[in-house]
Amino acid sequence: MSVERRLAELGLTLPAVTKPLASYVPAVVTGDLVYTAGQLPLVDGVLPATGKVGAEVSPDDAAGYARICALNALAAAASVIGSLDRVTRVVKVVGFVASAPGFTAHAGVMNGASDLLGEVFGEAGQHARSSVGVAVLPLDAPVEVELVLEIA
């Protein structure tokens, strides 16, 4: 089944690729790998929430925002490889969580991104992952996600 068809079954479409906020590109290909820039949970160019997870943003909402980040990262990857059907494996996910003091459930927040990748790619969506708590993210976003994908 094509990735586009699977996304449609999940009720999802790839968004337009967000214009970079600074001097970088959304994704690059080197060899058989695609690296995405960190993606924020922008929806139509707007953050659905700002602030720290565990304070202004609930962990459950943040997991949903991590899911949006992953979808945005897939759009960035598709912009440089043409079709996500070329993806043979999700290699690595790096997730950043803007954390309130004492917040320690970063892994649960990043499950939002990981679960989406599993739903879209099945076994090929299983990946290594880092979940990192940070003081602040660009635009005061609660989460940011980057991907490394293997392609054929």
SS3 call for 25: coil
The pLDDT of residue 1 is above 80: no
Q: What is the mean pLDDT of residues 134-139?
A: 98
Using 50, 70 and 90 to split pLDDT, how confident is the model at 21?
confident
Mean pLDDT of 77-98: 98
Question: Is-above-0.85 flag for pTM?
Answer: yes
Beta-carbon contacts of 74 under 8 Å, excluding residues fewer than 6 positions away, are: 14, 84, 120, 147
